[in-house]
Structure 1
Amino acid sequence: MQLETQPLQLKLSTPFRIARGVEEIADNLLVTLSHDGLSGYGEAAPSAYYGETATTVSACLERFARELGDDPFLIADILERLDHVIGRNPAAKAAIDMALYDLVGKLLNLPLYRLLGLNPARSALTSFTIGLDTPEHMAEKAARAQDYPILKIKVGTRHDVENVRAIRAVSQATLRVDANAGWSVKEAIRTINALAEYGIEFVEQPIAPGDLEGLRLLRQQIPVPIIVDESCVSLEDIPRLAGCVDGINIKLMKCGGISHALKMIHTARAHHLQVMLGCMIESSLAITAAAHLTPLVDYADLDGNLLIDNDPFCGVRVIQGKLILPERPGLGVVPRVHTGGENDKQGVV
């Protein structure tokens, strides 16, 4: 198999602010794997928080190109070789992994969900994210997102209650809040109990990732479930989280791709944990790869492609929040034809 890479710079429609920073451009990479006249595509969305950049991903992919072999069906063997070559670097491995699944699906003329034996009718509703801003601007964004029945509200500041109150005043959507580890335990107890008045469904990553005892204490003191993101990076994190939280957020870019995500889903179920599939700022390529797995999970937060202006691909569609999986082979993603019209973009900000 031949591997090619190229930059994939994604421009956010508006600066995207969370508790630990702001993002305007996502420097991703596109991977193309060619075999037997067909091409499979993958995307890496590196996060500095997890120790990856576009430069480190590019270096990893260059090294991985020599380890792919000639049989794209041997996905488990290929990924095992990559783990031996370079540890960690999950976004680089996720790009290879999804490109392999895309290629195999095309060789078999099957969409990924059929390849995995999943029912597309059971795909999840995705939330739509409202980044940190003033209460007025957050409420305005929420009002414009009326086509999405679930909103994820970024929190982790001194103004969280004011922000959520402003959003609830203009929206009857289901509200989830995500602090990105922005609170101390005491702040989390106080703030979440105040936010519960506005009918939030759950809170995501309220406190620092390594504070398991804090999560256990917090869970006893609040009336809503806790889903963790930064606390759960890989398969090995799941057993220690059982009893501390109610669920985990799996991202292809954190865990290393579709293969690892499937293992994490089943392991979480064995530990009686709920599962959400999340994302970084990604194009429709990586978002669609994750969307194919949503028939297996409870929640989805797959809106990274809806937050950008220059999505180069078409894949999964969103209708009233429902993820509609493509029926084309593999991931089912094709290049987007940019006409300058309103159909070029599915999201609102």
Structure 2
Amino acid sequence: MLVQLEHEGYVGYGEASMVPYMGESFQSAAAFLNKVDVSLFKFPFDFAEIIDYLDSLAPGNPAVKAAIDIALHDLEGKLFSKPCWQLLDSHPELMPSTSYTVGIDTPDIFRQKVKEAGGFKVIKVKLGRDNDKELIQIIRSVTAQPVYVDANQGWTDRQQSLDMIHWLKEQGVVLVEQPMPKSDIEGNAWLTQHSPLPVIGDESVQRFADVQKAKGVYHGINVKLMKSAGMYEAKRMIDKAHELNMKVLIGCMSETSCASLAAAALAPQCDWADIDGPFLTTNNPYQTPVLVEGKYQLSNAPGLGLQLK
């Protein structure tokens, strides 16, 4: 769902990418938007006040709240004639490479998908099944590039998980997202304590209040705008993680260039990036973001720098 907000002749664009496990749908987003009084949003925007207002309307609904937040950030950048990354104090030269997720398929098709990801400098793969090692071996038969692994809460035995992580480290894997169920706090903490690779909380970390809880359970957090309810809270989460000496991966859902450029504006403040949405989306109405050597190139255009096709 795409959202537009107008002020003094300028238009800000936002996006809600809703996934079933977060409990959102087009219908729930539309119902939430009908509750929002946009006349309350006065420029310059008080984003702390705005998120409190949105949360007061209804709990949850982080993706549609993110759409509003992103649109207001885009609008604010245009009204100030500054790019969002500058308003958020990011430094483009610190932009990390973004990973590219290779979808699970038959061995031959999976191998071909890895070959087609040659423009990216990092490969990401989702594990948590009985063929985890086979998938990594296929990747290694094609490329020596670094690999990010997302186990999607698919591992349940802590010792077997640790053994797998040691093996993954030998295969050039850089990090492991959400290895065990988020409800197994002790198991994830034990794994983090013993793991030779950074263990990153994903499903365990939704919004700002979850960052403190993740300390000691994970080495770092995965920040996604569709979970954090937008750029304002994502920035707070990043800052809090740094304060706690935790690492940060900034990720995405199935997003167009709109939400992806919003995440990219914060990416230079993070250790790793996984913002491949526009490159996996077939109905992107905007121009595909520019990558150079696998890194987002931030525009100097006001706001998000979003351009229609």
TM-score, normalised to structure 1, is 0.84
- Contact 2:83/2:301 (<8 A) preserved: yes
2:160 is the alignment partner of 1:215: no
How far has the Cα of 1:82 moved from its partner? 1.3
Task: Give the partner amino acid of 2:141.
Answer: A
Measure the CA separation in 2 of the matches of 1:111 and 1:171. 36
Q: Which residue of 1 aligns with 2:55?
A: 83
How far has the Cα of 1:310 moved from its partner? 2.4
Question: Deviations 1:2-50 (Å, cap 9, x if unpaired)?
Answer: xxxxxxxxxxxxxxxxxxxxxxxxxxx0000011111100000112211
Share of identical aligned residues, percent?
40
Task: Give the partner amino acid of 1:38.
Answer: Y
Q: Which residue of 1 aligns with 2:167?
A: 194
- Contact 2:96/2:271 (<8 A) preserved: yes
Q: Which residue of 1 aligns with 2:33?
A: 61
Structure 1 segment 136-151 matched on structure 2, within 5 A? 136-151=108-123
Q: Which residue of 2 aligns with 1:73?
A: 45
Structure 1 segment 259-270 matched on structure 2, within 5 A? 259-270=232-243
Structure 1 segment 28-107 matched on structure 2, within 5 A? 29-65=1-37, 68-71=40-43, 73-107=45-79
- Please, which moves more after superposition, 215-224 or 235-244? 215-224
Measure the CA separation in 2 of the matches of 1:247 and 1:267. 11
Q: Which residue of 2 aligns with 1:273?
A: 246
- Contact 1:285/1:315 (<8 A) preserved: no
* Structure 2 residues without counterparts, runs of 5 or longer: none
Q: How many residues align?
A: 308
Measure the CA separation in 2 of the matches of 1:292 and 1:66. 24
How far has the Cα of 1:67 moved from its partner? 6.0
Q: Which residue of 2 aligns with 1:16?
A: none
- Please, which moves more after superposition, 61-70 or 291-300? 61-70
Residue aligned with 1:314, SS:
coil
How far has the Cα of 1:315 moved from its partner? 6.0
Measure the CA separation in 1 of the matches of 2:164 and 2:112. 23
Measure the CA separation in 2 of the matches of 1:310 and 1:206. 31
- Contact 2:279/2:288 (<8 A) preserved: no
Task: Give the partner amino acid of 2:189.
Answer: R
Change (3 A) 1:190 1:43: same
Runs of 4+ in 1 over 4 A off after TM superposition: none
- Contact 1:135/1:167 (<8 A) preserved: no
Measure the CA separation in 2 of the matches of 1:219 and 1:259. 28
Measure the CA separation in 2 of the matches of 1:97 and 1:220. 36
- Please, which moves more after superposition, 271-280 or 193-202? 193-202
* Structure 1 residues without counterparts, runs of 5 or longer: 1-28, 337-349
- Contact 2:250/2:267 (<8 A) preserved: yes
- Contact 1:202/1:226 (<8 A) preserved: yes
Q: Which residue of 2 aligns with 1:116?
A: 88
Residue aligned with 1:311, SS:
coil
Measure the CA separation in 1 of the matches of 2:293 and 2:105. 25
How far has the Cα of 1:118 moved from its partner? 2.2
Q: Which residue of 1 aligns with 2:132?
A: 160
Q: Which residue of 2 aligns with 1:342?
A: none
Residue aligned with 1:52, SS:
coil
Change (3 A) 1:73 1:221: closer
- Please, which moves more after superposition, 234-243 or 300-309? 234-243
Question: Deviations 1:162-202 (Å, cap 9, x if unpaired)?
Answer: 11011111101111111111111344234323333312111
How far has the Cα of 1:115 moved from its partner? 1.6
Residue aligned with 1:39, SS:
strand
Measure the CA separation in 2 of the matches of 1:111 and 1:66. 23
Task: Give the partner amino acid of 2:157.
Answer: V
- Contact 1:315/1:325 (<8 A) preserved: no
How far has the Cα of 1:222 moved from its partner? 3.2
Q: Which residue of 2 aligns with 1:323?
A: 296
Residue aligned with 2:196, SS:
coil
Residue aligned with 2:176, SS:
strand
- Contact 2:147/2:174 (<8 A) preserved: yes
- Please, which moves more after superposition, 212-221 or 185-194? 185-194
Structure number with higher strand proportion? 1
How far has the Cα of 1:133 moved from its partner? 1.9
Measure the CA separation in 2 of the matches of 1:135 and 1:211. 32
Query: What value does the CA root-mean-square deviation take over the aligned residues?
Result: 1.5
Residue aligned with 1:206, SS:
coil
